[in-house]
Structure 1
Amino acid sequence: MSAADDRLAARVRALAAAVEAAEGRSDAAVSADARAVVERAGERVAFSGSYTVVALAGATGSGKSSLFNAVTGTELARVAVRRPTTAKPMAVSWGSELPHALLDWLDVTGRHLVPSGPHELSDLVLLDLPDHDSTEVSHRLTVDRLVELVDALIWVVDPQKYADAALHEGYLKRLAPYADVMMVVLNQADRLTPEELDRCLGDLRRLLDAEGLRATPIMAVSALRGTGIKELREALARTVANKQAMTRRLSADVTVAATALAADLGTANVPRVDERLQRQVVAGLGAAAGVPIAVDGVRRAWRKRGTVATGWPFVTWLARLRPDPLKRLRLDLTPGDHSPTEVNRTSLPKASAVQRARADQGLRELTDAATSGLPRGWASAVRNAAGDRRAVLLDRLDVAIAGTDLEVRRGTWWWGLFGVLQWLLIAAVVVGAVWLLANPLLLGLGLPQLPPVLWYGVPAGTWLLVGGVLAGLLLGVLGRALVEIGANAHARDARRSLEDAVRAVVTEEVFEPVEAELARYRLARQQVAEAART
């Protein structure tokens, strides 16, 4: 395999990768044409062998069939005075056997072998195509089909119709990228004087050059008199010996397909979604999913639980009667709190209209940034990626919030210390009250009274009673202040944990699908650029 063949194989693989990446996103017709080129290249290379397929094409009356007979040295093509129309393509090959598999792929049933040993035209398959201007639609369709498949084309024109618009507008201009695998042959040169022939060839050259076909050679022949037939056969022999017609033709096919696909993909910079927009989306969806409510629930739950644990027991019993905020929101349930078949969901209120609008706005701004400059099909794919699972997004966020460990089930070590101190102070109050009431009670019962115990001139019971109450209240106030500090700290931690959980879900459901589409677009651009590089 030559270096040109290796390069062609690499370009075909790149085009195939670009087509796969662009599937369902680029223009359907452009993608279909590129896919057809990839398939055709693979099939043609598989049938290659050493054969070169060259087709004679032309208009009715151009003498194409006569030229076919003159080149092949046969009378296979039907020729008549009244300009017959070639109905079906015919193939001639030289050698010991026909390339039937290749001709089956070309769908050419009329096939003839010119038996020969080693020959200058060995491995040539020469086709005589129907007239491209035939009134029969099937004839024109056959020409269009085989023009896409053959390795090289020889367009046969005559002095009267060499500038015919049906040829130039319908074929030659469109086939300008294939200039180096085409030839234009002016037949019936015997009808012109040398001066007329020179003018005709010069005019034809100017036409071809204006149509981007400077690389396409022209030749004057006369099938009737045999003029130029030897030179034409020699040109065919050089094409066969070079063994590059198929490679050049397929390379041109890849270039045309890659250029069309590249134009469809555009040249704008591939957009990127910045961190600011991502944070905005996470914040908006977090608010819609109830993160602020959950954070406030953590603050209030820590405050309630800390107050109950550290406050003055004579007062904190009222706090025990209030429902726990997190349990009411179903955010602090243990596995035993769920039924065996229950899904771990919260009781957070549904998002308000304002919150939903904010979340939608964040997603819209994200998709606008991610689709900036993209072709319509790719922009639509990115939008679908961002909103494809929007219906289940809030449900997944709710489950993620419910599964986040808010770290509020256990208090802190000093809660226990304050609790012990409070109960010791309660015991002091009780002892003080009993001590103060003991002597009056004993007096009423006629029993001996307890000896008085004074501390700084004040009964000890009074010290215990009043001191216990005051110290308990002061300890409760201090505990409340420390609990408030802890509640705010835990609320901040909970916000970070919940936002991380929200970001993880949004990344999976929104950011990663969007980035996957953008990466796919970048891949398509890279591969099509590689395919277009000759």
Structure 2
Amino acid sequence: MKLLRRKEGPSLDTRVSALLEAATLGDGRLPEEAVTAARAVAERAGARAGLSLDHTVAALAGATGSGKSSLYNALAGQELAAVGVTRPTTSTAQAALWDGEGAGPLLDWLDVPHRHSAADADGSGLVLLDLPDHDSIRLSHRLEVDRLVELVDLLVWVVDPQKYADAALHERYLRPLAGHRDVMLVVLNQVDRLPPQAVERCVGDLRRLLEGDGLADVPVLAVSARTGEGMAGLREVLGERVAARASWAARLGADVAAAAAHLGAAEGGSGGRGEAPALEQGSGRGLEKGPGRGPGKGVDKGLREALARAAGVPLVVEAVAKGHRHRAVVATGWPVTRWLRRFRPDPLRRLRLGTTAVQNVRPQLPSPGDAEIVGRTSVPGASAVQRAQVETALRDVGESAATGLPGPWATAVRHAARSHATELMDAVDRAIATTSLDATRRPRWWSAVNALQWLVFAAMLAGALWLGVLFGMDYLRLPQPPLPTAGPVPWPTVLLAGGALAGVLVALLSRLLAWLGGRRRARRTGKALRTAIAEVSDQLVLEPVRAELDRHARFTEALRLARAEV
């Protein structure tokens, strides 16, 4: 039979690292105060974990007249602190040590200069601090209490029958520290001033107040430092906490959880609860619409179409088809008339497409290492309507990707979608210039037809020269040489007429093939251009959005780990 073991949570070191990671990821997205506080907690946890772990620092904290100093002296077994009634007498914290060997660096870190050795032999490893009054009229006293309350391992709140319900204590300290219930004790001192039956009622009322503060499980001990009533029980509880050597870790764990909760509250969301956003890798075109999942397919497609229109892709595709026919006529037309075509401008060259003779600027897309050296094209700039359509598409991408995210992260995702808006159209233009380089590639059949055209032209020219020679000889009344014939037609006439007719027919057929080839090349170029534009939008729009969503997912997971929610 297998024994079922409860799965242990993450270690304290893991939680501290997770909190620091969450603070780093939240930097620039969440309020600076929450991020700074989380980093301070992580640094403080690291510092405390590097000091003596064999000592437990317990602090006696309370209001003026609660008898903290009397309780401190009673626990230490000697008069170490001055005792007053009507005014605060403790101005700085002082420490009583039970076996204080090795506790020096810890007290240096706590900045507690006054240190004493306790007379009591029990409680080895305990470092007991007597703090100033938290309600002191002196600001320096209150600040000292606030500082040490954040640092000590165990908090012992000392109250008296008259001021145990003080709102300052409950609202400023107990309620905000509800998550630290495992490292907290509440001591009702001076019970010797109450009748026995009143002590029970007072303790019950105090428990009710603590329950309202979220501290229902915190031990409440009724003692009298003057008479010694209940002191044995208090010493026993302190001894158990010290012997366990776990208060420091529980305190740091509570601090980490509280800081993580503060970060979660700062983002306006669940504070790390719930599922992390699911992100697909690769092209953003596969991302589905939903909370933190990225822009929907329709929104992404709308962005690509808006970029294509603004970049003049329809104009470029039309120019590719016309340019292909223009070059085909120049390369395969009848040599007698093809030179006239050179006076017409090449549609692609007018747009500065399909050529490397542009500015020596290396594009960033799709890959700096593989792209040709091209610069800006002469494609007409986007109109005001087209620019507005691109802006709307970018906003739609951001809004779609930010759906369901907490406010700060939604804002960051929207900003990420527009983070490269100023360079987007230039990148699209360079991508079009790079992609269009293939549009001027000469098909192989052009060279073959060109050679055939010149061969036919040579035959026509030979026939014309032959007939010219015969005409000259006849004009000079010279005897005619034998004239070969092809049937009834002389060969010179066959060469001249046949060459002219063949050249025209080949040119017409080439035009038909060029028209078909232009349409095919235009479709292929249009597809390639839209693919290049999709890569641009993916790199400059969707990748930043995806990175921000991934950052939020890692932030959420780090918060969950810091809060030990496994």
Common fold: TM-score over 0.5: yes
1:20 aligned residue: 24
Say if 1:408 and 1:194 are closer, same or farther in 2 by CA, change over 3 A.
closer
1:171 is matched with which residue: 167, 170, 173? 173
Tell me, yes or no, if the aligned pair for 2:184 and 2:218 is still in contact at 8 Å.
yes
- Contact between 2:189 and 2:225, CA under 8 Å: does it hold in 1? yes
2:545 is aligned, of 482, 502, 514, to 514
8 Å CA contact 1:56–1:68 kept in 2: the answer is: yes
What is the distance in 2 between the residues matched to 1:489 and 1:82?
99
For the residues of structure 2 that align with 1:338 and 1:145, how far apart are their CA atoms? 64
Query: What's the secondary structure of 1:42's corresponding residue?
Result: helix
Superposed counterparts of 1:455-494, under 5 Å = 462-494=493-525
User: Given residue 394 of structure 2, which amino acid in structure 1 is its aligned partner?
Assistant: L
Q: How does 1:431-470 map to 2 (within 5 A)?
A: 431-433=462-464, 441-449=472-480, 462-470=493-501
Aligned partners of 1:169, 1:34: CA distance in 2, in Å? Answer: 22
Query: Secondary structure of the residue that 1:318 maps to in structure 2?
Result: helix
When the two chains are superposed, the root-mean-square deviation of aligned CA atoms in Å is 2.9
Aligned to 2:425: 394
Question: CA offsets, 1:67-88, max 9 Å, x none?
Answer: 1111111212111343434221
- Residue 205 of structure 1 deviates from its aligned partner by 1.6
One-letter code aligned to 2:392: Q
Contact 1:284–1:362 under 8 Å retained in 2: yes
* Equivalence for 1:235: 237
Deviations 1:103-133 (A, max 9, x none): 12112222222367xx421211111111111
Q: Distance in 2 between matches of 1:340 and 1:201?
A: 81
Which one of the candidate residues 97, 100, 106 is aligned to 1:102? Answer: 106
Query: How far off is 1:57 after superposition?
Result: 0.9
Distance 2:102 2:76 in 1: 15
In 1, the alpha carbon distance for the partners of 2:231 and 2:359 equals 94
* Equivalent residues of 2:361, 2:375 under 8 A apart: no
Q: Partner amino acid for 2:389? A: R
After TM superposition, the score normalised by the length of structure 2 is: 0.85
Q: Distance between the aligned counterparts of 1:533 and 1:244, measured in 2?
A: 17
5+ long unaligned stretches in structure 2: 1-6, 275-290, 363-372
- Are the counterparts in 1 of residues 88 and 132 from structure 2 also a CA contact under 8 Å? no
SS in 2 for 1:313: coil
CA contact (8 A) 1:97 1:113 kept: no
Name the residue aligned to 1:185. 187
What residue in structure 2 maps to residue 412 of structure 1?
443
3-state SS of 2:133 partner: coil
The equivalent of 1:199 in structure 2 is: 201
2:154 aligned residue:
152
- Aligned-partner Cα distance in 2 for 1:153–1:173: 14
Which of 275, 281, 297 aligns to 2:303? It is 281
Deviations 1:405-429 (A, max 9, x none): 6335542232233223333433444
Asked if structure 2 preserves the Cα contact closer than 8 Å seen for 1:288 and 1:355, the reply is yes
**Alignment partner of 1:221 is 2:243:** no
Deviation readout 1:389-417 (Å, 9 max, x if unpaired): 33233333333333346335542232233
Q: Check 1:115–1:71 CA distance in 2 against 1; reply closer, same or farther (3 A cut).
A: closer
The range that moved more, 159-168 or 504-513, is 504-513
Mapped partners of 1:27, 1:338: distance in 2: 46
Determine the C-alpha separation between the residues in 1 that align with 2:212 and 2:224.
26
Assess if the C-alpha contact under 8 Å between 1:271 and 1:373 holds in 2. no
CA–CA separation in structure 1 for the residues paired with 2:98 and 2:9: 25
After the TM superposition, which of the residue ranges 445-454 and 389-398 deviates more from structure 2?
445-454
Farther-moved stretch of structure 1 (77-86 vs 142-151):
77-86
What does residue 456 of structure 2 align with? Answer: 425
Give the whole-Å Cα distance in 2 for the aligned partners of 1:404 and 1:226: 90
Match of 2:116 among 99, 108, 112: 112
CA deviation map 1:45-71 (0-9, x unaligned): 111331101111111111111111111
State the partner residue of 1:270.
292
Unpaired runs of at least 5, structure 1? none
Q: Is the 8 A contact 1:302 1:483 kept in 2?
A: yes
Establish whether residue 403 from structure 1 lines up as the match of residue 418 from structure 2.
Answer: no
Q: Describe the SS at the equivalent of 1:407.
A: helix
Q: Which moved more, 1:437-446 or 1:306-315?
A: 437-446
Distance 1:243 1:176, change over 3 A: same
The 5-angstrom pairing of residues 239-318 of structure 1 reads 239-265=241-267, 266-267=269-270, 269-318=291-340
Preserved contact between residue 406 and residue 494 of structure 1 (Cα < 8 Å): no
Q: TM-score, normalised by structure 1?
A: 0.90
Structure 1 residues 323 and 90, CA gap change in structure 2 (3 angstroms): same
Query: How far, CA to CA, are the matches of 1:90 and 1:173 in structure 2?
Result: 26
Equivalent position amino acid for 1:193 in 2 = P
Aligned pairs, number: 529
Q: 1:317 to 1:4 in 2, by over 3 A?
A: closer
Q: Distance in 2 between matches of 1:348 and 1:50?
A: 76
- For residues 477 and 84 of structure 1, the distance between their equivalents in structure 2, rounded to whole angstroms, comes to 111
Is 2:370 the partner of 1:348? no
From 392, 398, 401, the equivalent of 1:361 is: 392
Contact 1:52–1:151 (8 Å) recurs in 2: yes
Q: Is the 8 A contact 2:123 2:238 kept in 1?
A: yes
The SS at the match of 1:393 is helix
1:496 to 503, 527, 544: 527
Return the offset for 1:364: 1.6
Distance in 1, Cα, partners of 2:356 & 2:561: 58
Partner Cα distance (1:367, 1:139) in 2: 51
More displaced 10-residue stretch of structure 1: 291-300 or 192-201:
291-300
Contact between 2:311 and 2:429, CA under 8 Å: does it hold in 1? yes
Q: Which amino acid aligns with 1:26?
A: L
Moved more, 396-405 or 161-170: 396-405
Residue number among 68, 71, 75 corresponding to 2:75 in the alignment:
71
SS in 2 for 1:185: strand
Q: Is the 8 A contact 2:78 2:119 kept in 1?
A: no
Cα separation, partners in 2 of 1:140 and 1:315, compared to 1, 3 Å:
same
Q: 2:146 & 2:361 partners in 1: Cα distance?
A: 69
Aligned counterpart for 1:377 among listed residues 393, 408, 411:
408
C-alpha distance in structure 2 between counterparts of 1:526 and 1:62, whole Å: 44
Cα distance change, pair 494–115 in 1 and its aligned pair in 2 (3 A)? same
Residue 439 of structure 1 deviates from its aligned partner by: 5.6
Q: Counterpart of 2:107 in structure 1: which amino acid?
A: L
Distance 1:150 1:310, change over 3 A: same
Structure 1 stretch displaced more, 456-465 or 229-238: 456-465
CA contact (8 A) 1:78 1:84 kept: no
Question: What is the deviation of 1:343?
Answer: 6.9
In structure 2, distance between residues paired with 1:180 and 1:490: 75
1:92 aligns with 2:114: no
Q: Distance in 2 between matches of 1:281 and 1:81?
A: 75
Q: 2:366 aligns to what?
A: none
Q: CA deviation at 1:525?
A: 0.7
Change beyond 3 A, Cα 1:496–1:5:
closer
Aligned-pair CA distance for 1:24:
1.4
Structure-2 change in CA distance of 1:339 and 1:188 (3 Å): closer
Instruction: Give the direction of change, closer, same or farther, for the CA distance of 1:193–1:399 in structure 2 (3 Å limit).
Output: same
SS in 1 for 2:97: strand
**Preserved contact between residue 324 and residue 440 of structure 2 (Cα < 8 Å):** no
Amino acid of the residue matched to residue 27 of structure 2? E
Distance 2:552 2:295 in 1: 14
Distance 1:455 1:98 in 2: 122
